[in-house]
Structure 1
C-alpha cells in the first residue's frame, strides 16, 4: 500500500513538473503554479487517505490478535462494539482522542489554580497536513530557486513588463497620429502654423496675450523659459500643464497633433519683441545645436586675445 502511495505521488509531481518545463515561461508562469497546486493537493489527499486506512487496518489487526496489553476491564470498556457506526470509528482514528476513563494516563503533573492540562496527541490529519506543507515548501523552493523551470516573482515581473512594452510598441505602430514629447518635431508649413495660431487664439491669449507678450502667463517672445524652450519642452508644458503656475493640462482638450502645431507656432514668436512685453522669467534657453557647436579657429584667436 505504501509503495502504491509513493509511486502515485511521484507520478503526479513528475507530470506537473514536466508540463511546467515544456511550457513557455512568460505565458504559462501561472499555469505552472496551478499544476503544482493540483499535484500538491492530490498528494495531500493520497497521504491523508493512506494514513487513515493504515491506522484503521492496524487497529483492526491489533484487536483481532489481542496485542493490546491494557487491563482487561479497561479494554472491554473501551473496545469498539461491532455495531459502532463507521463514521464514529473513522473519527476516533483521525483524532486519537483519549477516553475519559484514561485521562489520568495523560494528565500532566502540574495545575494552574485548579486547572489541569492533558498531554493529548496532535490529530493525525493535522500532522499529515503539516508534513505536506513541509514537502510543498521544499518542492517550491527547489522549483523556483534551484532550477531553470520556474521564474521568481522578480523575473516574472520583468518578463511581463517586457511583454507589455512589446504590446505598446505594436499598438503605437498601428496609430496614424501618435505624437508625444519623445518624438515631437517642429512644423513649418503655413497650414500647420495657421492651425496652431487658431488654437492659440482660442485657448492661450487669456494668459499670454495674442502677441505672446505675457499677462498672467510668462512672455513667450524672449529667450527665457521656466520649463525649457525646446519643441519637446513646450509640447510637454502644453500637454501636462504647470499646476503650480495655474496652467492646466491641455491633453484632455487638444489632440496630440494639434498640440504639436501650437508648440510650433509658439516657437515662431521668438524674437518678435512686442511692446509692453512681460519681464523675462526662468533661465535663458540656448538651443542644443548652439551649445554643443565646436569651437572655431576665430573663437580660439578671440580667446587668446582676451
Structure 2
C-alpha cells in the first residue's frame, strides 16, 4: 500500500506522541515545552488518528482496485511494491502488522458466509495496536490503584502542599534582597553604615526644617527624649513617616515621596537621636514609650 503521508512524517509523529505520553503520565523532571500543555498532546494524537483513518480508507480503495486488475497488472503492481527501500518497507510492514490486516491474497480465508446483496464481510480481528493499548490501560489501572489507593502514594494535594512550602521559602529569600517590599509589619531596625548614611541624607533633605538637624524639635516634636505622640520603636516610627501624623496638624504622609526602603533607612537614622542632648530641646510631647 502506498501511504499518503510519508514515513519521515509519520514516524517522528508517532515517536513524539509516545514520548509525550510517557512524559505526561510518568514524573521524570521537567517536561518538554510541547508537552507542558495537554491540548498540544491531544492535537498530536488527533492528527495520528486522522492519518490512520485516511490511510485505512485509501487501503480499502486500493484493495478494491487491486481485485479488479487482471493477473498481468497485479504482477506489475507487486513488482513496484517490492522496489520499496528496506527501511521504508520495514516501517510499512510494521505499520501493517499494527493494523492486523490480512494481505489481499489471503482475504479469502476470513470472508464470512453472510451475503447482503452481494456484499460480503471480512472477519478481521481487532488491530494489535488497539489490543496492546487496552492491555496497557489495564496494567496502568492496576498500578495506579495499588500505588495511590492501597499504599496511599503522594497525590495532587501532597504536591500542592509541597509547592506551598517551597513558595513560602522562596518568598522569604526574595524579601531578603527586595528591600522595597518592607512594610509596617516586617520592618526591622537597620544598623549598617550605608543604610544609616542614606537615612541621614534623607533626614537632612526632608526633616531638618521641622525637627532640627540634631533632632531637638521645632515645628515637629523632639526626637531625643523618650516621649512619643504616636508611639516609638522602629515599627511605629516607620508607620508614622509612611502614613503621616495626626489628622489636620501632624506630619504629611511620606509614602508618596519615599520608597519603603528609604522610609526604613530614615526611621532607623532618627532613632539614633534617642538619649542625645540637642542644643535647644523642645518640651516633651506625648507619652513615655517602652518596648
Q: State TM-score, norm by structure 1.
A: 0.39
TM-score, scaled relative to structure 2: 0.41
